[in-house]
Each structure stands twice: as C-alpha cells, then as structure tokens.
C-alpha cells in the first residue's frame, strides 16, 4: 500500500475497505454492546484497537484504518456530540459565531485516548499491514456542526455559507488548524498514512468546491507536511465528479479516493496520470454479491488496474453488507490477471 502511495503500480493492487470495522461483522456487534455508547467505543483504546484488528484477522486486508469517527474533532473542540441509535449523530445547538470562535488548541487533550489507540494498533498489526489514520475534511465537519446532525442536502450549512460567509470561513480556519494538529499527532503515534474524508464535498457548487473543498485540503496537506515532510495523505472528496483532476493537482495529496458514481474513463484518463487512485466499487455489491459483484470488480480492474491503484469501495460498507461478499471481492482482486496499459 505504501508503495502505491509513492506512485508505483502494484499487482495485485492492495485492498482495504472503508468502514471495514463495523456493524456487518458479528464480532464488532459484540464489542459494541460491551462499550455502551458509540463514543465510548471510540474513546476506549482497548475496544477500539480490538475492532480495528477484527477485519484484518478475518480478511487479511492490506491496510487497517483506525476505528474512530470524524465527529470526535467537533467533540474535542467543545461542541458536545452524541449518537442516537438508529438515527445517527447529534451535536449540541451552537451559534455560528460561537463555532467560529472555538479553540483548535484543545483537540489533542481530548483525543489522547484515540492517539493511544493508534499506538496500540500499530504494535499489534503485522509489519506489512499499513495503518491509516483519518479525520473529516473541514467542509464536511462544518455541515454537521452547523446543522447539529446529518442532513440529506446540507441545506443549513449551504445557507450559512451564502448568508454568513465570513463566519463560515472562520470556522473552516479552526477546522483546518485542528485537522493539521490531529493528523500530525496520528502519524507521530504510529499511523503510516492518513485519509481525509470530505463526504459532503459534492454538495458544493463550482466556486464553493474551490474555496471550501480544494483550498482547505491544500492547507491541511501543507500544514501536515511542514511537520512531517514524509507524510502520505489520501483525500476522499465524495461526489467531486469533474473536479477530481483539479483536486488531485492542487491539493498536493498522494492519492485520491473515488466514489462509485465517478466515471472510470475520466478517472483513468484525467486523474490517475496525476496521482494514484483509490476505489471505487459500489458498496451495494457487498449486499447483493454474486456474478454482478464479479463483473463490477473486473470493471474497476480493467479501467484502473494498469496504473497505481488501491482497490476499495466507493464509500463505506453498509450494515447489511455480507462477510461472504467481502471475501469474494478480495479473492477476485487477488486472483485476477494483471492488466496492461
């Protein structure tokens, strides 16, 4: 995996899966029941280490990703976060001005248990298995912080952007600084590389994508590399579509994650010549399986397998995904014939 992040085309491509530790696994559900609340699980080094390692033991992925949540950063900044079973996250109602005045210097104190988890995972992982840390991108975090929950169209954050742009820009500044500090600390604790999830980048228009997806990510990459010049960073701007090549060129990331709705021709011709790519199997295939899964795996490999590729889903596996389909996907990737340019 680290060789691909350095620009090499490896066959078979390394493979991991977003949300690979989670509710589709019975062993995860057992630990989750022990933990109590979801955030208690995220902040327990013992339990978070265990659930991070579960899919490595079961499937032998080439990378483990820290078990945590993007919303630990707002929580660490002082905006209370909790999770409602069956409904998702909730964040304490806070004015936009108050959010924009949060102190990014508070994050590491609250997130020490997460950093302890990183070290614990790295010590337990096989040396050949890459450990990924992560955080949420500033725009995506801002959408939750402003709305107080996830929303289907990000209307509260988009409206705030149009009506109170300066306050939103100040909040983005806070989140950029917090992200730099947090990602650097994960790398120093033992992560080999980090990924930044911009789940709601696709909700932005052209100008907004430039200002609130590309520019904050560029600043994060620059800030982390100022502290860790060898840092490997993956950006995942979900829904970026035609912006992917510009994002790859201008942010300085080492690889770009690609969602399942992106055109594989566009990714191969316009993005992969710039940076390695990661993706982009539709997560629904982890539910439906069968020959449709085989064909979809082959399609990704046919388009992207000749260049530097990290095989992954185009977003996280869903709770109704099936372990046997994950096994089938991995076997299909690892037994496939090499693709040539």
* Active-site residue list: 19, 23, 32, 69, 144
Q: Which residue has the tokens 């014939």?
A: 337
Characterize the bridge pairing of strands 233-237 and 193-198: parallel
- 189 C-beta neighbours (distance < 10 Å), count: 20
Q: How far apart are CA 243 and CA 266, in angstroms?
A: 11
Q: How far apart are CA 11 and CA 28, in angstroms?
A: 31
Q: How far apart are CA 116 and CA 114, in angstroms?
A: 5
DSSP letters for 134-189: EEE-HHHHHHHHHHSB--SS-HHHHHHHHH-HHHHHHHHHHHHHHHHHHHHHHHHH
Displacement of CA 157 from its chain's centroid (Å): 20
Q: Which two tokens stand for residue 237?
A: 């701007």
């Amino acid at each position: 995996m680290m060789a691909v992040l350095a620009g090499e085309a490896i066959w078979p491509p390394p493979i991991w899966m977003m949300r690979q530790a989670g509710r589709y696994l019975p062993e995860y559900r057992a630990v989750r029941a022990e933990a109590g609340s979801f955030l208690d699980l995220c902040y327990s080094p013992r339990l978070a280490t265990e659930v991070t390692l579960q899919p490595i033991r079961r499937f032998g992925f080439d990378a483990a990703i820290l078990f945590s949540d993007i919303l630990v950063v707002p929580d660490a900044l002082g905006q209370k976060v909790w999770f409602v079973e069956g409904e998702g996250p909730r964040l304490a109602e806070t004015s936009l001005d108050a959010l924009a005045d949060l102190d990014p210097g508070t994050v590491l104190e609250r997130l020490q248990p997460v950093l302890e988890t990183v070290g614990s995972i790295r010590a337990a992982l096989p040396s050949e298995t890459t450990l990924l840390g992560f955080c949420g991108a500033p725009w995506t975090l801002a959408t939750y912080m402003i709305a107080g929950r996830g929303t289907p169209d990000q209307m509260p954050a988009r409206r705030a952007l149009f009506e109170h742009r300066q306050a939103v820009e100040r909040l983005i500044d806070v989140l950029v600084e917090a992200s730099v500090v947090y990602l650097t600390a994960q790398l120093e604790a033992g992560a080999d590389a980090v990924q930044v999830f911009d789940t709601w980048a696709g909700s932005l228009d052209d100008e907004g994508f430039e200002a609130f997806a590309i520019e904050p990510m560029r600043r994060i990459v620059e800030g982390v590399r100022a502290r860790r010049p060898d840092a490997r960073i993956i950006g995942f701007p979900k829904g970026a579509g035609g912006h992917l090549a510009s994002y790859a060129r201008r942010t300085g990331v080492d690889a770009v994650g690609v969602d399942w709705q992106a055109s594989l021709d566009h990714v191969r011709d316009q993005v992969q010549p710039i940076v390695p790519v990661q993706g982009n199997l539709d997560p629904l295939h982890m539910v439906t399986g069968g020959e449709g899964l085989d064909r979809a795996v082959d399609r990704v490999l046919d388009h992207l397998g000749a260049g530097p590729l990290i095989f992954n889903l185009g977003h996280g596996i869903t709770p109704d995904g099936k372990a046997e389909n994950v096994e089938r996907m991995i076997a299909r990737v690892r037994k496939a014939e090499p693709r040539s340019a």
